[in-house]
Every structure is written in structure tokens, then in C-alpha cells.
Amino acid sequence: MTDQAVHSAVSASAARLSWQAILAPLCTIAIAASLLGVAEYAARNQLVSPIILPAPTSVWKVLVEGMASGYFVDHLISTAGSLALGFTLGFLLAVSVAAILSSSPFIEKVFTPFIIAFQSMPKVAIAPLIVLWLGFGEASKIAIVVIVCFFPIMVNTMQGLQMRDRDHYELFMSLGASRSQLFFHMRLPHAVPYIFAGIHIGVIFSLIGAVVAEFVGGSAGVGFAMLQAKAQFDVPAVYACLLLLMALGLILHFIMSFAERRVSFWIHDMSRAAV
């Protein structure tokens, strides 16, 4: 294949990817608008009970009024704050435990069964016990978030830390690298994709854990607001709370995706510099 043919093929592939990048969001918006239109039509013509599916316009009205009055803002801040602190603590704990367990096969064999046994217990069943221990409020919410996000991050981090490139490992050993240099300049950079795979799972689990905690023993938060709306048979308000949780989940996903792109470039550059 000539250089001109290769250049043409690369240009065609780049153009196709560019069109896909533009077309994909438009298709997403079109599908969402169509679903909202169908839901609005069904609700206004009473094809579906308003208890099951309220009109999207009524849900939007409740959401806007709740945000303007500060009601939803306060609950959203409570949920986001507990989630952020709990996830940060869970992430640090998971990475630390994974680093310790992966450093010694003996330690891993001793403690892994305890961790798996603890993780096997349903978190919904643990939540009331944690509320009894820590009481109603932020402490129990943060503890539940830590427990929920710990395991997926730890497992993925361990998997990444145990993966070793033989050529890189032999190079570092031939240069007399210490265990800390092996960890920070070889094992950790190689584990970054696995760590972020666990983070993407853990952050969604954290949101679920925060809402479960608010259901069980919260005094504030979007989950607590949803329970209040349900008790009042305010179905549009329940859907408004669901929209807030969906928006929060999307925001967290995009934040983690952005962080993954930034951290991956930085840590791989650090690894190459060390070599």
C-alpha cells in the first residue's frame, strides 16, 4: 500500500470518527426528546395512570420550584457531601488495603476470605445496624458509602497491582530499584486502568449507598426527600428526586472520566521518565 493510500485511509477514518462524535450526542438527544414526548402525550390523554407516570412537564415544574426555593438544593448538597466524603475515604482505604495485600501472597491468603465474607453480606441488611451504631445523620451515611464502594475498588486495584510486565520488571530489577520504586514507578502506573475501572463502579455504588442510608436513617438528602414525597403521594416530586439522582450520577461519571484521562497521561509520563 502506497503512502498516499495510507494517508487517504487515515483521513477517511478520522472523518468517520469526527462525524460519529457529532452524530452520537444528537441521536441521544433525539431519543430522549422522543421518549419525553411519548410520556407527555400518554399522561395528558390519561393513557397511563398519573400515579404510575405523571406528565414530564409537571415533574419539571416541581423540580424547578424545588430548586428555586432551595428545598432540593439543600437535600442535594447533603447527599453530594456525604457521597464525596464517603467515597474519598473508601477509595483511600481500598487502595491501601489492596497495596498491602498484593505485596505479600501470604497476607493476601490470610485476609482475603474475611473481606469476601464481609462483602457477601447485603448492604441493605447492614444499613440498619450501622444506623444503630452511629445514629441518624451524616456519620451513618458516610460509613455506608465507604462500605459499599470499598470492595469493587479494592478488587480492581489488586488485580492491577498484580499484573506485571516482565520486560519492565526485569529492567527495574537490573537497575537496582527498591520496592517503593517498583511500586510507584512500575506497579502503580500499570494498575491505573484497573483502579479507574473500580472507581467507575464504586462511584455509582456510592450513590446507591447514600440513597439507601437516607432511606434507612437519614434526616436529609435526596433519598429522604423522596420518602417524604412518597408519603404525601406526590408522584411528580418522587420523579423529580429521581431526576436529581440521575443528574448527580452523570456528573460523577463525567468527573471520573475527566480525572482518568488526566491522571493516566501524568502517571504514564512519570513511569517513562523513571525508566
CATH number at 261 reads 1.10.3720.10
Give the integer Cα–Cα distance in Å for 271 and 264. Answer: 11
Query: Both 18 and 135 in a single domain?
Result: no
pTM, 2 dp: 0.80
Query: Both 108 and 9 in a single domain?
Result: no
Residue range of the domain that includes 10: 1-51
Query: Both 173 and 91 in a single domain?
Result: yes
pLDDT at 10 over 50: no
Query: Both 66 and 100 in a single domain?
Result: yes
Segment 132-175, tens digit of pLDDT: 888 777 888 888 899 888 988 998 888 888 766 665 655 566 65
Categorize the per-residue pLDDT at 90 as very low, low, confident or very high, splitting at 50, 70 and 90. very high
To the nearest whole number, what is the mean pLDDT of the chain?
80
pLDDT at 33 over 70: yes
Better-predicted residue by pLDDT, 87 or 126: 87
Of 92-106, 214-228, 236-250, highest mean pLDDT: 236-250
Categorize the per-residue pLDDT at 61 as very low, low, confident or very high, splitting at 50, 70 and 90. very high
- The confidence score (pLDDT) of residue 173 equals 60
pLDDT at 216 over 80: yes
pLDDT at 17 over 60: no
- How many alpha carbons fall within 13 Å on the CB side of residue 110? 8
For the CA atoms of 251, 75, 223, 253, the dihedral, rounded to the nearest 10 degrees, stands at 10
Mean pLDDT value across residues 211-218: 84
By percentage, how much of the chain surpasses pLDDT 70? 80
- The confidence score (pLDDT) of residue 48 equals 83
**Number of structural domains the chain divides into:** 2
Give the integer Cα–Cα distance in Å for 157 and 162. Answer: 9
Query: Both 21 and 147 in a single domain?
Result: no
Query: Both 126 and 220 in a single domain?
Result: yes
Query: Both 126 and 226 in a single domain?
Result: yes
Give the integer Cα–Cα distance in Å for 247 and 236. Answer: 16
Query: Both 16 and 80 in a single domain?
Result: no
Give the integer Cα–Cα distance in Å for 143 and 134. Answer: 9
Query: Both 91 and 35 in a single domain?
Result: no
Query: Both 34 and 166 in a single domain?
Result: no
Strands (E), the chain: none
Query: Both 33 and 127 in a single domain?
Result: no
Closest CA to 122 of 228, 246, 208, 195: 208
Query: Both 44 and 61 in a single domain?
Result: no
